[in-house]
Amino acid sequence: MKSVKEIKRWKTLKKNQDNCDINTVIELAWCDKTSFESIKIQTGLLEKDVIKIMRSNLKKTSFKIWRERVYSRKAKHEKLSNYNFTETKK
């Protein structure tokens, strides 16, 4: 029998169209060196989808802190960064 925590996790995963692991998306989004373009390549999720996942799975204050970090970092947007993330991924 599945625990309540597992059931909630599966319901959250089913809401995600691409059925990728929410924890992986959150981990990639928190990482300062991972751009939204890299997240899209790995999971198929657009930036707006990542934002929705973060908003629905983080506490309100944690989400605000994350958004402030994202806006202040060029690395989250590959077009603004001089570093090419996709070439380093294998």
What residue segments make up the domains of the chain, in order of their start? Answer: 4-88
pLDDT in tens, 40-84: 998 888 898 999 999 999 999 999 999 998 888 766 665 555 555
Position of tokens 């899209």?
40
Q: pTM of this prediction? A: 0.63
- DSSP 8-state assignment for residue 78: T
pLDDT in tens, 64-74: 999 998 888 76
- Distance between CA atoms of 45 and 21, rounded to whole angstroms? 11
Task: State phi, psi for 4 to the nearest 5 degrees.
Answer: -60, -40
